Structure 1
Amino acid sequence: MATSFNQQFDQHGTWRRNFAHRLKWLTGWLQENELLDVAVEDRLRELESQMRTSKIMVAFVAEFSRGKSELINAIFFASYGRRIMPASAGRTTMCPTELGYDATVKPSLRLLPIETRLEPHALSYWRESPDRWTQFPIDVRNAESLAQTMQKVAEVDWVPLERARALGFWNDAAPEDNPTPDAQGRVEIPRWRHAVLNMPHPLLEQGLVILDTPGLNAIGAEPELTVSLIPQAHAVVFILGADTGVTRSDLSMWREHLISEGDGNDTRIVVLNKIDTLWDILNSPAEVERQIERQCAASAKVLDVSISQVLPVSAQKGLQAKIRRDGPLLQASRLPALESVLGEGLLGRREEVLRQAVHNGITALRNEAQRILTVRARDLSEQALELQGLRGKNVSVIRHMRTRIEGEQSEFENSNSRILALRSVQSKLLREVYAVLGSTALKADMGRLAASLKRPGIKLNLRKIYGETFDTLRGNLREVQATTAEIQAMLNATFRQLNAEHGFSLLAPAEPDLSGFVKQLSQIEESHLKYLGVGNMLKLAQPDFCDKLVRALASRLRVVNEAAMTEVERWSKGAGAQLDAQLKERRRNFGKRIEAVERIQNAAGGLEERLEEISTQEAALKQLGERLNELTTLLTSQDAAMTDGTRPALRVA
């Protein structure tokens, strides 16, 4: 039987925890041996945090009545012995629902009132405003109580037509998409705009985030869901009905909201649910199998994906089989095959990304620590040569040597003007970087976009408007890249001078490559333009909708800019930390040289004793270098996180 998603995610969580533990232990060892500068310490801290807190989001997207919530129950919550997510016939999940875990927040279901749509704030703003959410405590040990609380995500209100129109649930220009009014002319709308379940479920505790989305109309009315949350998911599970195949609304949702990001859509998994509706006692198993294969092939062709990405499943039978421990029914439901794809593909890719991040961080750390050891070894060698020259010399020569060392020390301390000038210019250029990528500049760019979108009437030049905006944003990154190139040239020149004058071994860290962030902007632009299809043209004539769209876009762009600034800051800090480390070593060297001469002056036999100490220290440095290579190699090996040696690395699908 294939390893379930739960089992694979549990293994992935163990891998991450063990890796984080070893990173923390290595950090302590480096600190004990004074081999950790500020920049590398920050990088290690980030890596440890990433391993402990990294989230994996799986978004489940479907039109109403495709069995989406039932599939979530079957994969993640069967251990409760009942449904947790509401999964009755008809419309169930009425608002986007996130399931995750934050240990700093009490277990609860938080609900954001639908009325917040009338206020000019993105969802990211409301996340930081806990007083506007309605909160319900949950008891994770009581399945019945938990399921009853989760029913709240299906709550609706009946409101007058004008209220529905203001909230974005009624469009006079597209009557076919509007809900049916009741006898009093009222319209059914969701009671809540967004739901967040904070629950100490074993998978959620390990960093899994599940995003359960409502149907097409609800997705279209909440731009942030489309341009921010769904695109950032590590995998998107798109659910169809096996009995219907790809319907018109399914295809509209797929084309307008899911085929984006320029990633070849390999993170999209298409689930052909409810295959049990094709089970027919009047047909042989072979005939049923052929029907399922035909539906899979037809769906793959319409959606233009590989047939390997279309997986037939019966979520209902899979849930029943898990609860009843019915092995044959579980296999017939084909749920294990879907779980295997999710586990091996999603978790495998995620683990590979984390491994690469750790490899890069550890390599940088090893190089920097090895550079410090090299400087120390060179200083010890110079001290030994200096002291060996004192053999047989009188007190006057020894006194003269001390005077000479003190003079060198004074000259060294007085020659720091170049270093101060370097740091001053570097700070000035970095301020320019922050001005280009900071929130003020982005707000101005988004303000110009909003003004263009809010011009009266239908906009037929949206691609041009967006193209100009993203050209500006990409231009900002290229401007920053030019600034970093200028700083890099200055670092190289200054480091060469310092190496020549003081015998340092400074090497400017590699200049940050911002092309990846430029690519991210292009991917966001592509996904956004796909969202601005003909189906949304009438909505884009509404100023309120345009405001929501721009706020959602700004929220996502801010993440890209902040990540780029973090990369530049880390690079700058790396250069400064390397210089600080060698300045510290040089000052330590002066202190050791003066101390050695004092001992020789004050004690007979002090010279040979000091030379013997230097020899011992050289041997210890060699051992430190060997231990450094041993520990860092362990962390970057394929099975670095294993503590019991029983679990192989997850393979990448």
Structure 2
Amino acid sequence: MATSFNEQLDQHGTWRREFALRLKLLGEWLNDHDLLDTAVQERLKRLESQVRSDKVMVAFVAEFSRGKSEMINAIFFAGYGRRIMPASAGRTTMCPTEMGYDAEVPPCLRLLPIETRLQPQALMEWRMVPEQWTRIDLDVDNPQQLAASFEMVSQTRKVTQDEARALGFWHSQAPEDNPLVDADGLVEVPKWRHALINIAHPLLKQGLVILDTPGLNAIGAEPELTVSLIPQAQAVVFILGADTGVTKSDLAIWREHLVSDSTGTEARLVVLNKIDTLWDELSTPEQISAQIERQKATTADILGLRAEQVIAVSAQKGLVAKVSQDEALLQKSCLGLLENALGEGMLLERQRILRLAMNNGISELRTDTARTIHIRKRDLTEQSMELQGLKGKNAGVIKHMKSRIAQEQIDFDLGGAKLHAVRSVHLKLLKEVFDILGAKVLKAEMGQLIEALTQKGLKLGVKKAYGETFTRLRANFATVQRLTAEMHSMLSVMFTQLNTEYGFSLQAIQEPDLNFYLNDFEMAQRSHLQYLGISNVFKLAQPEFSDRLVRALSARVRSIHESALSEVEFWSKSAAAQLDAQLRERRRAFVRRMDAVDRIQQAAGGLDERLDEIAQQETGLDQLEQKLMELTSHLINSPQATAESLDLETASA
């Protein structure tokens, strides 16, 4: 029984694979016709990487015993005919668990020991050290082995109160949140800090990433979850109990980790799970339905959501219904409503954004390539007019033309000194950009923040310190935007001069708009400031906690910087590649013109023969331009077309 979410994700994955195939074929066709310059090649590479690696992360967040793992089983893994994620009574998922697919990694479960919290590295840094993770190989065709392996995410260990405090699970200022102390004075904490599951599940292969988070205490102890992973999820499913509604701890998770006054809630879905606990034989179906609707309305009101963002389901009955193929029970479980919300809301919006990016990229690629074809056509037209003027002329005139072409080439080559000077300034400005957004500056910024947070006692000025840090980071981006604008202005002047002097058709590409990355900064700042509320003020008094928080921020900002640098570098390469392409075409034109005059000198019929060749080349370029429009239009306008419909012979013709 396929669900809308599964079907839509599968269709999206099919489109991504076919689009990547079409991009590859387009690249081969461009290469065959000598149209694959550096800029076009880089753009194709970026587009293919983006469409192949696009991920859709769905974060499931809940306090303990809300049925979160059971819901993941019901939505994603019912096809195995049994539970895969541990979903027994009591606490199941003790550590944050990411489930996805990487074709370069064998099927496995990787577990990061909880003791790594005693060291300063951020979670993102530990990902780069695979030898520190405990690895269990998985047999994807053996559901029993999978389920048994996944049980390890629920493992715990006993530690002293001091050890628990160092690990972030014991807070003297908030005793009500501390774990129970046993007869030996020990407390139970998760054995693992983080889990990564890599399996070739059909949905995961399509780019889905599932983030399964534990309860409030575990979320609060791992700042990177709140300030990085959860905010970047395309959808967050917040799970409550239908029988209890919004409890105090549920409300704490919602307010402290999932929403703030300055962020929207459109990507949030709230699920009232376990509606089967309300199925009472002493109540009529109408009474049960009314009770569920009241609970939904109350929940929406408390959390400040639209009513349609609250969905009531029974994950357990939905899983049973799918495994037993009981359509009536599946309908009663209302699981399909949640799947529709995920598919039609979050997934379709993600697809729309990706396809828009692909369409824009292909349009720009077409413009760059068409410009090269137009240059070739213009050079042929000029050469044809030049040769037409030789009709009926004597050998002296032809010899003079040959000398004139040679002199033009010499003058053109001498103009290269100007280009070299402008390029030197351009590279100098580009180096400034890389310095500003580089690791050295970021390390200094984070060092200042750490210093501000290492003051004694409560960190009552911590928000101010964070605010000042983000102000400086935004100022750096403003400087980068000014430098790229300066580079764009310089290129515009140079391109205009070259267009005037040499008849080029250079067009300075608008510098990158860094507002997208500033928005990422805003989101990072909001998530951090939200985390610095009064409930965490005692945690911030612990140097190791503040250090982990800053390292999480550093990892997030580094990722933003690297993405912005990549964008600026690509823009710079595109400008240089456009110039290089037209310089290369002009030098080729000199060679062709000189070759044509040589042939005319050597044979009386050479002039007419060369004019016929030019006419044929012009026809060929017209056909080339038409084929370019056809191939790129197919990518832009027919995203759902099947790979089989692509004429591979034509594409490679």
TM-score range, shorter chain: over 0.9
* 1:300-311 equivalences in 2 (<5 Å): 300-311=300-311
Task: Decide whether the 8 Å contact of 1:122 with 1:555 is kept in 2.
Answer: yes
Task: Name the SS for the 2:209 alignment partner.
Answer: strand
Structure 1 partner of 2:244: 244
Task: Decide whether the 8 Å contact of 1:2 with 1:340 is kept in 2.
Answer: no
Q: Give me the TM-score of the superposition, normalised by structure 2.
A: 0.97
Q: CA deviation at 1:640?
A: 5.2
Structure 1 partner of 2:133: 133
For residue 498 of structure 1, what is the amino acid of its counterpart?
L
Q: Does 1:529 align with 2:515?
A: no
Q: Does 1:436 align with 2:447?
A: no
Structure 2 partner of 1:473: 473
Counterparts of 1:21 and 1:538, CA distance in 2: 54
Query: Per the alignment, do residues 2 and 291 of structure 1 end up closer, same or farther by CA in structure 2, a change over 3 Å counting?
Result: farther
Deviates more, 1:403-412 or 1:537-546: 403-412
Q: CA deviation at 1:463?
A: 2.3
Q: Which runs of 4+ in 1 moved over 4 A?
A: 260-263
Structure 2 partner of 1:77: 77
> Deviations along 1:575-631, whole A, 9 cap, x unmatched?
100000000100110011011111111122010010011111111111111111121
Structure 2 partner of 1:497: 497
Query: Per the alignment, do residues 289 and 45 of structure 1 end up closer, same or farther by CA in structure 2, a change over 3 Å counting?
Result: same
Counterparts of 1:250 and 1:599, CA distance in 2: 85
Counterparts of 2:42 and 2:213, CA distance in 1: 37
Q: Does 1:294 align with 2:283?
A: no
Q: CA deviation at 1:262?
A: 4.7
Structure 1 partner of 2:649: none
Deviates more, 1:536-545 or 1:337-346: 337-346
Task: Decide whether the 8 Å contact of 1:227 with 1:527 is kept in 2.
Answer: yes
Structure 1 partner of 2:34: 34
For residue 607 of structure 1, what is the amino acid of its counterpart?
L
Q: Does 1:483 align with 2:447?
A: no
For residue 72 of structure 1, what is the amino acid of its counterpart?
I
Query: Per the alignment, do residues 82 and 2 of structure 1 end up closer, same or farther by CA in structure 2, a change over 3 Å counting?
Result: closer
Q: Does 1:159 align with 2:159?
A: yes
User: Which ranges of structure 2 fall in alignment gaps of 5 or more residues?
Assistant: 646-653
Task: Decide whether the 8 Å contact of 1:109 with 1:196 is kept in 2.
Answer: yes
Query: Cα RMSD (Å) of the superposition?
Result: 1.3
Q: CA deviation at 1:643?
A: 4.1
Task: Decide whether the 8 Å contact of 1:260 with 1:523 is kept in 2.
Answer: no
Q: CA deviation at 1:263?
A: 4.6
For residue 616 of structure 1, what is the amino acid of its counterpart?
Q
> Deviations along 1:232-258, whole A, 9 cap, x unmatched?
111111000000000000000000000
Counterparts of 2:364 and 2:4, CA distance in 1: 37
Task: Name the SS for the 1:431 alignment partner.
Answer: helix
For residue 501 of structure 2, what is the amino acid of its counterpart?
E
Structure 2 partner of 1:103: 103
Deviates more, 1:78-87 or 1:19-28: 19-28
* 1:406-425 equivalences in 2 (<5 Å): 406-425=406-425
Q: CA deviation at 1:450?
A: 1.1
Structure 2 partner of 1:508: 508
Query: Per the alignment, do residues 362 and 261 of structure 1 end up closer, same or farther by CA in structure 2, a change over 3 Å counting?
Result: farther
For residue 84 of structure 1, what is the amino acid of its counterpart?
I
Structure 1 partner of 2:341: 341
Task: Name the SS for the 1:270 alignment partner.
Answer: strand
Deviates more, 1:618-627 or 1:427-436: 618-627
Task: Decide whether the 8 Å contact of 1:80 with 1:143 is kept in 2.
Answer: yes
For residue 586 of structure 1, what is the amino acid of its counterpart?
R
Deviates more, 1:457-466 or 1:289-298: 457-466
Task: Decide whether the 8 Å contact of 1:120 with 1:547 is kept in 2.
Answer: yes
Counterparts of 2:441 and 2:265, CA distance in 1: 32
For residue 552 of structure 1, what is the amino acid of its counterpart?
A
Deviates more, 1:630-639 or 1:597-606: 630-639
Q: CA deviation at 1:481?
A: 0.5
Structure 2 partner of 1:326: 326
For residue 605 of structure 1, what is the amino acid of its counterpart?
G
For residue 150 of structure 1, what is the amino acid of its counterpart?
F
Q: CA deviation at 1:150?
A: 0.6
Structure 1 partner of 2:401: 401
Q: CA deviation at 1:4?
A: 2.9
Q: CA deviation at 1:562?
A: 1.1
Q: CA deviation at 1:461?
A: 2.1
* 1:443-482 equivalences in 2 (<5 Å): 443-482=443-482
Counterparts of 2:516 and 2:125, CA distance in 1: 27
Task: Name the SS for the 1:537 alignment partner.
Answer: helix
Task: Decide whether the 8 Å contact of 1:86 with 1:92 is kept in 2.
Answer: yes
Structure 2 partner of 1:592: 592
Deviates more, 1:485-494 or 1:453-462: 453-462
Structure 2 partner of 1:13: 13
Counterparts of 2:250 and 2:561, CA distance in 1: 34
Task: Decide whether the 8 Å contact of 1:98 with 1:210 is kept in 2.
Answer: yes
Q: Does 1:185 align with 2:185?
A: yes
Structure 2 partner of 1:627: 627
Query: Per the alignment, do residues 388 and 628 of structure 1 end up closer, same or farther by CA in structure 2, a change over 3 Å counting?
Result: same
Counterparts of 1:262 and 1:643, CA distance in 2: 44
Counterparts of 2:263 and 2:613, CA distance in 1: 60
Counterparts of 1:629 and 1:281, CA distance in 2: 66
Task: Name the SS for the 1:170 alignment partner.
Answer: coil
Structure 1 partner of 2:173: 173
Counterparts of 2:514 and 2:106, CA distance in 1: 39
Query: Per the alignment, do residues 552 and 530 of structure 1 end up closer, same or farther by CA in structure 2, a change over 3 Å counting?
Result: same
Counterparts of 2:328 and 2:214, CA distance in 1: 32
Q: CA deviation at 1:163?
A: 1.2
> Deviations along 1:61-94, whole A, 9 cap, x unmatched?
0000000000000001101111000000110000
> Deviations along 1:389-423, whole A, 9 cap, x unmatched?
11111222212211111111111111101111111
Counterparts of 2:381 and 2:127, CA distance in 1: 59
Task: Name the SS for the 2:83 alignment partner.
Answer: coil
Task: Decide whether the 8 Å contact of 2:452 with 2:462 is kept in 1.
Answer: no
Structure 1 partner of 2:25: 25
> Deviations along 1:121-177, whole A, 9 cap, x unmatched?
001111111111111111111111110111000000011111111111111111111
Query: Per the alignment, do residues 92 and 239 of structure 1 end up closer, same or farther by CA in structure 2, a change over 3 Å counting?
Result: same
Q: Does 1:559 align with 2:559?
A: yes
Q: CA deviation at 1:366?
A: 1.1
Query: Per the alignment, do residues 128 and 361 of structure 1 end up closer, same or farther by CA in structure 2, a change over 3 Å counting?
Result: same
Structure 1 partner of 2:651: none
Task: Name the SS for the 2:509 alignment partner.
Answer: coil
Task: Name the SS for the 2:159 alignment partner.
Answer: strand
For residue 197 of structure 1, what is the amino acid of its counterpart?
I
Task: Name the SS for the 2:157 alignment partner.
Answer: strand
Task: Decide whether the 8 Å contact of 1:95 with 1:154 is kept in 2.
Answer: yes
Task: Decide whether the 8 Å contact of 2:96 with 2:213 is kept in 1.
Answer: yes
Counterparts of 1:607 and 1:261, CA distance in 2: 77
Q: Does 1:383 align with 2:393?
A: no
Task: Decide whether the 8 Å contact of 2:73 with 2:319 is kept in 1.
Answer: yes
For residue 9 of structure 1, what is the amino acid of its counterpart?
L
For residue 179 of structure 2, what is the amino acid of its counterpart?
P
For residue 182 of structure 2, what is the amino acid of its counterpart?
D
Identity level (%): 60
Structure 2 partner of 1:113: 113
Task: Decide whether the 8 Å contact of 1:115 with 1:167 is kept in 2.
Answer: yes
Q: CA deviation at 1:52?
A: 1.3
Task: Name the SS for the 1:110 alignment partner.
Answer: strand
Q: Give me the TM-score of the superposition, normalised by structure 1.
A: 0.97
Counterparts of 1:521 and 1:103, CA distance in 2: 31
Q: CA deviation at 1:261?
A: 9.4
Counterparts of 2:520 and 2:154, CA distance in 1: 35
Query: Per the alignment, do residues 443 and 49 of structure 1 end up closer, same or farther by CA in structure 2, a change over 3 Å counting?
Result: same
Task: Decide whether the 8 Å contact of 1:261 with 1:526 is kept in 2.
Answer: no
Counterparts of 2:450 and 2:440, CA distance in 1: 15
Counterparts of 2:168 and 2:23, CA distance in 1: 49
